[in-house]
Every structure is written in structure tokens, then in C-alpha cells.
Amino acid sequence: MAKIIVLMGAQGAGKGTQAKRLAESLGIPIVATGDMLRATAEEDTPLGRQIRDIQAAGRLVSDSVMAEVVSRRTIRDDCIDGYILDGFPRTLPQARLLEEIAADQGHQICVIEISVPRELLLKRLAGRRTCSSCSTTYNIYFKPSKREGICDLDGKPLFKRSDDNEEAIAKRLALYEEMTLPLLDYYAELDYLHRVEGDAPPEEVSERIAEIVSAGEQRSAAEG
Ligand SMILES: [Zn+2]
């Protein structure tokens, strides 16, 4: 059975990296709802117009509109063997709508949470420095430049994004936890939830995720 893989993880947990690796190794697309919303809003269709109106009014797109955007994107041929969702579901109603999409498509939902201790997330995010000239990124804790505040490649100064201060980051992480906790509970209850420790090197995290995805395949093959 093809899978809808829902990757969950706070900012700094390495979700983007893992989604990319997984998409490459499985040959399935990453369906990112932010990108899709932007693309759909540009279409000259009833749904496109609806989204433009909502955004023009400064309102948030409703759960059912989000689900329609996801559903329309994922009935395309490239999603037949499954896909990775990024940015959806974010709420319980969206999770229930995803169940309907999965049932319609005959896909199985597999949720993988990349769990990283908050201390480490803070260091990963607050320690980030970027070159003002070539955009190379460093981290003062994990990947420091040879000279403090100076890019190794071109000697230009490094800067820290203004939203990368500890207070702002802690706030974003707390908000994330508050938002996702109900979803994680919901998926744990349905037995869809798998947890991967994200404080290992990215290659190891990828291996663990691949194991989880393929273990589910063996089980459904044995059942069916
Ligand atoms: Zn540079």
C-alpha cells in the first residue's frame, strides 16, 4: 500500500533535510502546502479565486480549503506511489480531512515525528550565522568559522538573523509544541505515530526513517 508520509518536527529538527532525502530514496514527491497555496492562488479557477479573496481579506485559509488544495495536488500521477506532506495537517480538523483523502486514494498514513531536545534546537537555531556575501551558513556551536564572525570562504562578515535570538526562538518552539501536541496524541491513538530521535547525525536519522517506512510495507504485504 502506498503511503502518505507526514513528517513532523520543530524548526531546527531537520525536517526539511529528511524530507528531501526520503523523497529521493523513495522516488516520491514532497507536497508542500505553502507552495501549493501560492500556486493555486495564481490559477484562474474557482478555487484559485476563492483563495485570493480569503488572502486579500487577510484571513487564514480554512481547513476544508486546505484539504481541497492537498487533495487536488495529490490525485496527480506522481503521487500514485505515495508522497510526503509538508505543512499539512496542522490542526485536528485537517487531520480528519486527511483521513478522508487517504481513504479515497487507498493510501496509508504514516506519521514520523523527528524529536529533538529543546536545548539542542535552541543551539542549532540561535547559533546560526550566515555570510553577508555568499550566504554560506555556520553555527557557532557545531560548525564555527575559523575566525569568529568572518566567512572562511571570502572573509566577509557573518550575520545573525534578527528572529534568531533566543527569546524569539523559544517562543516559536513553545507555539509549535502547543499546536502539534493534540495532533501527536491523535496519531498516537490511531497507532500511526512513529518517533525518531533527531539528535543523531542526519544520515542516521534518515536510516531510522527508512526503516520505519519499509517496516510498514512488510507488514501490509504480509497482511494482504
Ligand atoms: Zn562568504
For residue range 70-94, list pLDDT tens digits in order: 999 999 999 999 999 998 998 899 9
pTM of the model: 0.84
**Residue 90 falls in the annotated catalytic set:** yes
Distance between CA atoms of residues 62 and 66, nearest Å: 6
Please give the pLDDT value at position 165: 85
CATH class of segment(s) 3-118+176-223: alpha beta
Q: For residue 142, how far is its CA from the centre of ligand 1 (angstroms)?
A: 17
Q: For residue 148, how far is its CA from the centre of ligand 1 (angstroms)?
A: 13
Cell of 170: 523559544
**Residue 172 falls in the annotated catalytic set:** yes
Please give the pLDDT value at position 162: 79
Identify any residues that bridge with 79 across adjacent strands, giving them in sequence order.
Answer: none
Please give the pLDDT value at position 34: 84
**Residues contacting 70, CB < 8 A, separation 6+:** 31, 33, 36, 85, 88, 98, 101
Q: For residue 147, how far is its CA from the centre of ligand 1 (angstroms)?
A: 12
Please give the pLDDT value at position 157: 97
Identify any residues that bridge with 176 across adjacent strands, giving them in sequence order.
Answer: none
Q: Which of 15, 21, 73, 129 is catalytic?
A: 15
**Residue 73 falls in the annotated catalytic set:** no
Please give the pLDDT value at position 33: 87
Q: Which of 73, 128, 129, 208 is catalytic?
A: 128
Please give the pLDDT value at position 22: 96
Q: For residue 94, how far is its CA from the centre of ligand 1 (angstroms)?
A: 42
Domain ranges of the chain: 3-118+176-223
Please give the pLDDT value at position 224: 44
Distance between CA atoms of residues 25 and 97, nearest Å: 28
What order of strands is seen across the sheet that includes strand 108-115? 30-32, 82-86, 3-8, 108-115, 193-197
- Per-residue pLDDT 10s for the chain (224 aa) are 899 999 999 988 999 999 999 999 999 999 998 888 888 899 999 999 999 999 889 888 899 999 999 999 999 999 999 999 998 998 899 999 999 999 999 999 999 999 999 999 999 999 999 999 999 999 999 999 999 999 999 999 999 987 778 888 999 899 889 989 999 999 999 999 999 999 999 999 999 999 999 885 655 555 54
Q: Phi/psi of residue 129, each to 5°?
A: -135, 145
